[in-house]
Amino acid sequence: MQVFEFVKLAELYYAGSHGMDIKGPAAAKASSSSRHAAKAKGVVFQPASEFLPMIEEVHERLVQTTRCIPGAKVENNRFCVSVHFRRVDEKMWGELSESVRGVLRGYPRLRLTHGRMVLEVRPTIKWDKGKALEFLLESLGFADCSSVLPVYIGDDRTDEDAFKVLRRRGQDQGVGILVSKHPKETSASYSLQGPAEVMEFLLRLVEWKRLSRARLRLQ
């Protein structure tokens, strides 16, 4: 999984390709007090595995089709194919979009979605980041747990499905945070302006946890 290559922490749970590739810790160190970790140890969920050969074929065709468009980058994320056009001249966006759509006309079981400066080819299954979030919470035993607060941070329009799940749960049962420099309509409860603010937020969470534990030891 590509996201694991970036992080490389074996004790975490990873979800890639819009939640279509979910894997648990390689070796969860479950203790008697971590029954939830033991329950979800080694969880692997790939609802679109039957599409893998098709995705690979489409990836190869898109690489060939977009080769003549400077700046276009085609990425195989295993369960989806991303066509990035951030570095493509704006005058050629229409040509790139039509090239991608032309390839997809031969694959009715795949659909095209739009992200931040990216076109994404995905299987036509009823699965999104919101359903992936619900699956993880259920697998970990946290679906109806009031002592755990899920926090979801995202900067893409496809993250809205996860924000909606948390909003339905209520703010005391989950928080969605949109990362964006510009105001926009969202189902997230809060927003941060960029990666630097996300890092600051996470560091403050860690510090808050450390201070909370210190206070408990003093009681």
> pLDDT tens digits, residue range 97-122?
999 999 999 999 999 999 889 999 99
In the predicted structure, residue 31 carries a pLDDT above the cut 90: no
End position of a domain, from candidates 68, 89, 123: 123
Question: What pLDDT shows up at residue 26?
Answer: 64
Is 114 found in the same domain as 167?
no
**CATH number, residue 101:** 3.30.70.1020
pTM of the model: 0.74
Percentage above 70 pLDDT, the chain? 92
Looking from the CA of 10 toward its CB, the CA atoms found within 13 Å total 5
Rg (CA), the chain: 20
H/E element, 15: strand 14-16
State the total domains in the chain: 2
Q: How would residue 155 be classed by pLDDT, with cut points 50, 70 and 90? A: very high
C-beta atoms surrounding 120 within 10 Å: 21
Query: Do residue 119 and residue 84 come from a single domain?
Result: yes
Shared-domain flag, residues 65 and 113: yes
Asked if residue 88 is part of any domain, the answer here is yes
| Separation of alpha carbons 219 and 204, rounded Å | 23
The parent domain of residue 165 ranges over: 149-219
Domain boundary among 74, 105, 123: 123
Q: Residue 113: beta bridge partners?
A: 120
Tell me, what's the pLDDT at 29?
A: 41
User: What is the rounded average pLDDT for all residues in the chain?
Assistant: 89
Residue 27 lies in a domain: no
Give the containing element (helix H, strand E) for 199: helix 195-218
Q: What is the pLDDT of residues 164-188, one digit of tens each?
A: 999 999 878 899 999 999 999 999 9
Q: Which one of 73, 108, 123 terminates a domain?
A: 123
